[in-house]
Amino acid sequence: MKKILFCLSLACILPLICACNKGGGEDNDIQTPEMKTPELKEKAVSLSIKGDAPFTDIILTETGKAIMAKALPEQSAPSTRANTVIPEYIYGRYEVTGDVYTIYDDSNKFICHLQLLKNAEGAITSAKLFLNSNVDEGVTYAVEVVEKVSDSNLTQDLCRNWKICYTHITLDGAVKATKIFEAPDAASFNAIFAYAKEKAPQLDANIPEKMNITDIMFTQTGSFIVLFENGKIFVGMWNWKNEKTGELNYAWDGDEKMFEYESGKATFTVETYKKVSYYTLTLSGSVTDAGKTYNATIAFNLEEK
């Protein structure tokens, strides 16, 4: 399991550096990509729901996507590293009519209506959930609104729904190698893992089929989401370490229980590849296995979906 998780971090969870963009005859006239304000920016919200609600968390992104964590059954034993269960997530989209959000899954099936209730000062204090299309029947739950990490221009540019155009991988330490993946392999964890396996055959792990990244998302309320073609959803948290240099920290849900290395550090910067400027997410990490240390840096050149 440890090796599988390292390879997963290697392929899609590491801080990214586009080292191959330095020199090599590239045009170094880097221009920041022009980003339009998402239509639902002012409607985006992240909620932690109290009580016996069917969902513990609801993330409504600036780009109209919805991620909902299903409530887990109560554990009879105290939570420990060994028995912690990672929440099951539902991914979909939402629409807003007045003060009511309507949430659908990714097959366009209705999930619920959500109405945010505010106090006299305009602060959200509770939410009313309607699990059927009848908006006359709902249950009200107390909620905690997750605060924004930042509302800066760079944060607004980061908080999008991204697809991967190119992936640059650099292996260092016990194995040294570099490679650039173009579509469709740029978003394929299987292709990237096969390359890492070729260079470090001692990393023994079986990888599920169709581990292709379809979406990378950040939200201003500090959520970090990666979606795969096979339906898997990874949800974590992020914040700025140094916004001026584009450095950020991230941690996956249940990070200390899932991974045997520190939570990650990443950069979000503008890099140029093939004379085109891309926002580039750079993830890096390392693991020691059988006395050998493997380092990896992966750079994703991103384009808004």
DSSP letters along 70-98, please? EPPPPPSS---TTT--PPPEEEEEEEEET
Q: How confident is the model at residue 253 (pLDDT cuts 50, 70, 90)?
A: low
> What pLDDT score does 304 carry?
94
For 201-243, how does the pLDDT look when each residue is reduced to its tens digit (9 = 90+)? 765 556 667 788 999 999 999 998 999 888 888 888 899 999 9
Quick one: which H or E segment has residue 271?
A: strand 264-273
In this predicted structure, the answer to whether residue 246 has a pLDDT above a threshold of 80 is yes
For 148-166, how does the pLDDT look when each residue is reduced to its tens digit (9 = 90+)? 999 999 999 999 999 999 9
How many structural domains is the chain composed of?
Answer: 2
> What pLDDT score does 6 carry?
43
In this predicted structure, the answer to whether residue 262 has a pLDDT above a threshold of 70 is no
Q: How confident is the model at residue 293 (pLDDT cuts 50, 70, 90)?
A: confident
Same domain for 121 and 47, yes or no, is yes
- What is the domain extent for residue 109? 41-146
Inter-residue contact 212 to 188 (CB < 8 Å):
yes
> What pLDDT score does 136 carry?
67
Same domain for 10 and 142, yes or no, is no
Same domain for 160 and 226, yes or no, is yes
Same domain for 67 and 114, yes or no, is yes
- State how far the Cα of 296 lies from the Cα of 294, in Å rounded to an integer: 7
Q: For residue 220, with 0-12 CB atoms within 10 Å meaning exposed, 13-18 middle and 19 or more buried, which class applies?
A: buried
**CA 66 to chain CA mean position, Å:** 13
Q: Which of 93, 120, 146 lies at the terminal end of a domain, its last residue?
A: 146
> What pLDDT score does 49 carry?
94
In this predicted structure, the answer to whether residue 32 has a pLDDT above a threshold of 50 is yes
Q: Average pLDDT over the chain, rounded to whole?
A: 80
In this predicted structure, the answer to whether residue 26 has a pLDDT above a threshold of 80 is no
Q: How confident is the model at residue 21 (pLDDT cuts 50, 70, 90)?
A: very low
Inter-residue contact 256 to 262 (CB < 8 Å):
no
Inter-residue contact 282 to 166 (CB < 8 Å):
no
Same domain for 218 and 199, yes or no, is yes
> What pLDDT score does 196 carry?
75
Same domain for 15 and 79, yes or no, is no
Same domain for 74 and 126, yes or no, is yes
Same domain for 161 and 181, yes or no, is yes
Inter-residue contact 92 to 105 (CB < 8 Å):
yes
How large is the average pLDDT for residues 71-79? 57
Inter-residue contact 116 to 89 (CB < 8 Å):
no
Share of the chain above pLDDT 70, in %: 78
Same domain for 159 and 232, yes or no, is yes
Same domain for 209 and 242, yes or no, is yes
Q: Which of 146, 180, 207 lies at the terminal end of a domain, its last residue?
A: 146
Q: Which CATH number belongs to the domain containing residue 88 in this structure?
A: 2.40.128
In this predicted structure, the answer to whether residue 266 has a pLDDT above a threshold of 80 is yes
Same domain for 96 and 237, yes or no, is no
